[in-house]
């Protein structure tokens, strides 16, 4: 969920009831992005409070000093060396069914989500508006969950970021965008639950991770070094997990190794991943962290 400020989730369960349920039945934690301005040397290990670098870090498991993306122009991207986690999963286990659907088309067009992914669909939030595009994203993901058997699914929703830029994250428009995205997530979780009720279907154990790429200033916008822009969160829920636990400073780069770990794919040190596997009862014994 793009540009989602954690403090907009916490005042009341009514702000985002589905996300609140995930936080109370699973685990949640926050961290601050290591900060750098556009033009800084990425080899210093900094991150950037923009979407290109943020989603690149989430998907690849490395910071900009390795994946090379320091802005929304995606210049310098090293995705051939550091591909997204769906691509890694597909290469490690060719039989896996991988899928991704987004409302920010740049993630497909710029190669952040690679061609090895089984299904890549982009709905254009830039031209149609993110509220409309997010609804189409959700319909696509629901179709896959109800009519196919995906092993790993990446879903991007962008309306909160659009509202944050337009009117700021303290506005009624931002609250509406958050509630809409929360409802979209609820429909996806219901579809996952419904899979368990199908007679004869093999038992499935779904791990759900929810995160964001950056925050927003109170007035709207991001790209700077304030806490409001740098704070990010990870929500993790999976079968058998203790309810209402805290994750210890989970970072954006921890998403990719955690997904691969839950798929049972050993993490090769040669991949150069900088993230760690987040703990949980569904985690196989890690080969590397």
Cβ of 247: how many Cβ atoms within 10 Å? 20
Q: Is the pLDDT of residue 213 over 50?
A: yes
pLDDT for the residue numbered 196: 84
b/e map of 142-176 (b: 16 or more CB within 10 Å)? eebbeeeebbbbbbbbbbbbbbbeeebbbbebbbe
pLDDT for the residue numbered 203: 86
Residue 179, in any domain of the structure: yes
The pLDDT-based confidence of 199 (bands split at 50, 70, 90) is confident
Residue 283, in any domain of the structure: no
Q: What is the mean pLDDT of residues 51-56?
A: 97
Residue 17, in any domain of the structure: yes
Question: CB-based contacts of 266: which residues, under 8 Å, 6+ apart?
Answer: 287, 288
Q: How many domains does the chain have?
A: 1
Q: Is the pLDDT of residue 286 over 50?
A: no
Whether 27 contacts 245, CB under 8 Å? yes
The pLDDT-based confidence of 13 (bands split at 50, 70, 90) is confident
For the domain that residue 40 is a member of, what is the CATH number? 3.40.720.10
Whether 125 contacts 134, CB under 8 Å? yes
Residue 281, in any domain of the structure: no
Q: Is the pLDDT of residue 23 over 80?
A: yes
Residue 285, in any domain of the structure: no
Residues in a beta bridge with 33: none
pLDDT for the residue numbered 240: 85
Q: Is the pLDDT of residue 24 over 90?
A: yes
Whether 225 contacts 35, CB under 8 Å? yes
pLDDT above 70 as % of the chain: 93
Q: Secondary structure of the chain: what % helix, strand, coil (to 5)?
A: 40, 10, 50
**The tokens of 250 are what?**
């989970």
Pairing of strands 231-237, 27-32: antiparallel
Whether 176 contacts 162, CB under 8 Å? no
Least confident stretch, 47-51, 102-106, 261-265: 47-51
Residue 279, in any domain of the structure: no
pLDDT for the residue numbered 122: 98
Residue 275: closest CA among 287, 257, 248: 257
Number of H helices, E strands in the chain: 11, 7
Which 8-state DSSP code applies to residue 226?
Answer: -
Q: What is the mean pLDDT of residues 12-31?
A: 94
Mean pLDDT of all residues belonging to the chain: 92
The pLDDT-based confidence of 43 (bands split at 50, 70, 90) is low
**The tokens of 254 are what?**
């921890």
Residue 159, in any domain of the structure: yes
pLDDT tens-digit series, residues 172-191: 999 999 999 999 999 999 99
Q: Is the pLDDT of residue 287 over 80?
A: no
pLDDT for the residue numbered 12: 82
Helices (H), the chain: 17-25, 51-60, 64-67, 85-92, 106-109, 125-128, 130-147, 159-167, 172-195, 227-230, 255-262
Residue 270, SS3 per DSSP: helix
- Domain containing 40 equals 6-271
Q: E strand or H helix at 232, and its extent?
A: strand 231-237
Whether 264 contacts 251, CB under 8 Å? no
Q: What is the mean pLDDT of residues 49-77?
A: 96
Residue 257, in any domain of the structure: yes
């Amino acid at each position: 969920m793009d540009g989602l400020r954690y403090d907009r989730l916490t005042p009341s369960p009514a702000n985002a009831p589905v996300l609140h349920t995930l936080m109370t039945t699973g685990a949640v934690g926050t961290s601050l992005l290591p900060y750098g301005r556009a033009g800084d040397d990425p080899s210093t290990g900094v991150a950037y409070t923009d979407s290109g670098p943020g989603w690149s870090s989430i998907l690849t498991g490395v910071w900009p000093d390795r994946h090379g993306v320091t802005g929304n122009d995606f210049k310098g991207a090293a995705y051939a060396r550091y591909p997204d986690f769906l691509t890694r999963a597909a290469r490690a286990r060719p039989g896996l069914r991988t899928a991704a659907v987004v409302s920010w088309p740049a993630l497909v067009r710029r190669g952040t989500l690679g061609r090895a992914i089984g299904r890549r669909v982009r709905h254009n939030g830039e031209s149609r508006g993110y509220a409309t595009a997010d609804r189409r994203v959700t319909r696509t993901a629901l179709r896959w969950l109800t009519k196919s058997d995906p092993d790993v699914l990446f879903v991007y929703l962008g309306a909160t970021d659009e509202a944050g830029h337009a009117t700021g994250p303290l506005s009624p428009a931002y609250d509406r965008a958050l509630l809409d995205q929360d409802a979209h997530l609820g429909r996806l979780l219901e579809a996952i639950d419904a899979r368990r009720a199908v007679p004869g279907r093999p038992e499935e154990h779904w791990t759900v991770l929810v995160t964001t790429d950056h925050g927003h200033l109170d007035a709207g916008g991001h790209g700077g070094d304030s806490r409001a822009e740098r704070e990010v969160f990870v929500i993790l829920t999976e079968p058998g997990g203790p309810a209402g636990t805290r994750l210890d400073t989970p970072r954006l780069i921890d998403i990719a190794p955690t997904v691969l770990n839950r798929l049972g794919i050993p993490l090769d040190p040669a991949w150069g991943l900088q993230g760690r596997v987040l703990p949980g009862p569904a985690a196989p014994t890690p080969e590397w962290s």
